[in-house]
Structure 1
C-alpha cells in the first residue's frame, strides 16, 4: 500500500478538515501508511486523535492582523516544503487538502512523488494569491479531487485527471442522526458558521429580530472568549443565543427545526456546505444560497429553499411557512432525510480509496473527468 503524506494548514472545526478526517479514515481502512502535517492552534480540531495517522505539528495560526497572518503563512510554507521534502520519496503520495498548503505540492513534485489535491474552496483573496495557488496545482498535480461540480467548473484547472467526490458524513454521525426525533417546540432556527460578516452573521441577527416568536441559535467557529467579546460589541436580540465552537453538534441539530446558511454570494460562495448535509440527515429543512456547491445538495422546493441572505422579507416568509404549515414542514423533513441518504459515507470511502489506488501516469493518460453519483 502507498505511503501517503497528507497536508492541511489549520486543524479546526470547519468543513475541510472534517472531510480530510473521513478520507484518512477510509485510507487507513484500506491499509495505507499515513502521515499528516497540520497546525492545531486550539485545544482540538477534526484532525486531532486520528487512529493510524502519524501527526507532524505545523507552526501556524490565524491572526486578526493581515500582515501577521501573511508572515505566518509564508513561514509555514517553508516549514511544509522542507518537512515534505524530508518525508517523501518517489513512491509516496502527497495529499494536499485545499489549495493553501501549496509548498507540499512543490516538495512532492521535486521528490517525484504523486501529488493529489482535494480542493474545497474558490473564494481566495487577493486574486494574485489565487492565481499563484492554481498555477502550482496545474504544474504539480497528478490528480485533483473537487468537492462539487461548482468548484471544478469555477477553477477550470488544467490537470489531466479530475474527479468530483461529494462530501459525506461519518457513519457514526449518520447512525445518531437516524435516531433523532422530530423537532419539538419552540421552533428553533440554527446556523453554524465562522465569525465573519460574509458568512451572514449580521443577516442572522436581523432575521432573529424580525421573528421574535422563534428561537435562534448561532454556533460560531471561534473560542469562547472571542464569542463573548463579539456578544458584548454586538448585542443580540433576546431570542438569539450565541455559542462557541463545539465538538458535538448533535444537540443543536436535535433542537433545530430548520438550518440556515446565509453566506453572501457576492463575497463568499459555499463550495459544498457540510452543515447543510448534517441538517438534511437529521430531517431538517434548509435555507441556503441559490449558487455554489450547496445548490447541488439542496433540492429547491423539496428539501428547502434557495434564497439570498440579504432578502430579509423572503427569508421571513420561508421560515413562517415552515413554522405555520405542518404539512409542508413534514413533507420537506421527509425529503431531507431521503436526500441525505444519497451522500452515503460508504460511497465516499470507496471513491477516495479508488483515487489513491490508481498508479496511472498522468503524462500518458487522456483527460479524465469523474463525478460521484450523489447528484
Structure 2
C-alpha cells in the first residue's frame, strides 16, 4: 500500500510529534511505501528513515499578509502534488492542508483525517475546513472524546494520542525527592495569550519561593519581544523552542497548562501526558481533553485558569509533604501507561487495514 501523509508545518508541537511516532513505526513495514508532504523546516517530522519527503512550500511569517500568501501557496502545492502523486490512501494530519484532500477526493482516493483541533479562528475558516472534511473524508480519527463530540462526522473514532515511555529511574524515591526539593513549576506551551502565558507570569509573582520555567515553541528572541513590555519576576525563566522536552520534564516538580477556556479549549493535552510519564503531577483546565487524562486530586488537579488563587492552593496540596507529592507522582506515571504507543498504533493500523481492504 502506498500512503501519502500531509502535514502543514513541521515543528515541535503536539500534532507533528504524534505523526512522527506513527511514521517511525510504519516505516518498519516493508509492504508500505510512505511519502510525506510537509514544510522544509526542522521539527519532529525531520529525518524519519524510509520516508520520501516532499516540500509543501509553507513557512510561518510574522507578517499576516505574507503568512496568508504563504498559506495559499502551500495549498496550491498540496492540491497539485496530491493530484498527480502515486498513492492509495491520503492521511491528513490536522484539517489545515485541505488542498490535498480536495485533490484526493477528485481522484476518488481513500482519505483519513486525523483531527487534533476544533478551535480554529476566524470562524469562517473552521466552517470551511469542516465542510471540506465532510465532503472528502473516508474516515475521521479524533484525538479525544471531546473532539469526537465536536466533529460533525458519522464515521469517526477516538484514538488517543500516545506517550513514548521513558525509563523509570532506579531509585524512584531519590528521583522524586530531588524533584520535590527543586520546587520548579514548568509550563511548555505556544507563545499565545490564549495559552495563559500571562497568567503563568502572574502565578510566578504569587509564589516567589518557587522557580517557574516557561518553554514556548518559538525562538527565544520572539519570547523576549513578546514580553518586552512586561516586568517579569526574577523567579521566572524563559526558554525557546526545543526538539526534546524530556530533560525539562525530568527537572520539573509540577507541570501546568493554563489555556483560557473562553478562548481555546485543549482538545487533548499532550504536555500533561508527557509530564505524567516523567512522574510529574499536572494542573490543567477543567475543560476538553485534560479532563480525560487527569484524575482530579489523584495525579493532578483540574482548575479554572483564571483563578490563580485556586491554582496556588492546588500547588500547595501537591506539595503538602513529600509523601503526598510522591503519591501524586506515582499515580501520574500509572495513568500515563493507559496511553501507551501500542494502543495508539493498533488503533491506526486497524483503520489502515480496513481502507486497504476497500482498495483491494
Q: Which of 212, 219, 243 is 2:208 aligned to? A: 212
Give 3-state SS (helix, strand or coil) of 1:24's partner. Answer: helix
Q: Give the Cα separation in 1 of the matches to 2:213 and 2:284.
A: 16
Secondary structure of 2:166's partner?
Answer: helix
Offset of residue 177 of structure 1: 5.4
Alpha carbons of structure 1 residues 284 and 17: separation in structure 2 relative to 1, 3 Å: same
Instruction: Give the corresponding residue for 1:39.
Output: 39
Alignment partner, residue 160 of structure 2: 166
Q: What number of residue pairs does the alignment pair up?
A: 352
1:326 CA displacement:
2.6
Contact 1:178 1:281 in 2 (8 A): no
2:163–2:336 Cα contact (<8 Å) kept:
no
Counterpart of 1:109 in 2: which secondary structure? helix
Query: TM-score normalised to the size of structure 1?
Result: 0.90
> How far apart are residue 185 of structure 1 and its match?
2.2
1:128-207, aligned counterparts within 5 Å?
A: 128-158=124-154, 161-170=155-164, 174-176=165-167, 181-182=175-176, 183-207=179-203
Cα distance in structure 2, aligned partners of 1:132 and 1:282: 39
1:72-119: CA deviation from partner (whole Å, max 9, x where unpaired): 212211110001111145xx1000000111111111111121100000
Superposed CA RMSD: 1.7
Match of 2:50 in 1: 52
CA distance in 1, matches of 2:302, 2:48: 36
Q: Deviations over 1:261-319 (max 9, x none)?
A: 00001111101111110101111110001010111111111111001111011011111
CA distance in 1, matches of 2:254, 2:262: 24
Deviations 1:157-204 (A, max 9, x none): 24xx3211101123xxx1345667211422110000000010010000
> Closer, same or farther in 2 for the Cα pair 1:119/1:46, shift >3 Å?
same
Structure-to-structure mapping, 1:327-366, within 5 angstroms: 327-359=323-355
Q: Which fold has the larger relative contact order, with Cα–Cα distance below 8 Å and residues 6 or more apart in sequence?
A: 1
Distance in 2 (CA, whole Å) between partners of 1:235 and 1:37 is: 42
Q: Please, which runs of 5 or more residues in structure 1 have no aligned partner? A: 363-375
Q: Give the Å deviation of 1:65.
A: 3.0
Secondary structure at the aligned position of 2:355 is classed as coil
1:312-363 Cα distance to aligned partner (Å, 9 max, x none): 110111112222333322221111011001111111112211111113788x
Residue 93 of structure 1: aligned partner: 89
Aligned counterparts of 1:166 and 1:59: Cα–Cα separation in 2: 30
Where 1:59 maps in the other structure, the secondary structure is: coil
Alpha-carbon distance, 1:156 to partner: 2.2
SS of residue matched to 1:71 = helix
Q: Report the counterpart of residue 77 of structure 1 in structure 2.
A: 75
Q: CA deviation at 1:225?
A: 2.0
- 1:68 and 1:127 map into 2 onto residues whose CA distance is 21
Query: 4+ runs of 1 displaced by more than 4 Å?
Result: 177-180
Shift of 1:19: 0.6
Give unmatched runs, 5+ long, in structure 2: none
1:298-313 alignment to 2 at 5 Å?
A: 298-313=294-309
Match of 1:283 among 268, 279, 282: 279
Deviation of 1:247 after TM superposition, in Å, equals: 1.5
Equivalences for residues 11-50 of structure 1 within 5 A = 11-31=10-30, 32-41=32-41, 44-50=42-48
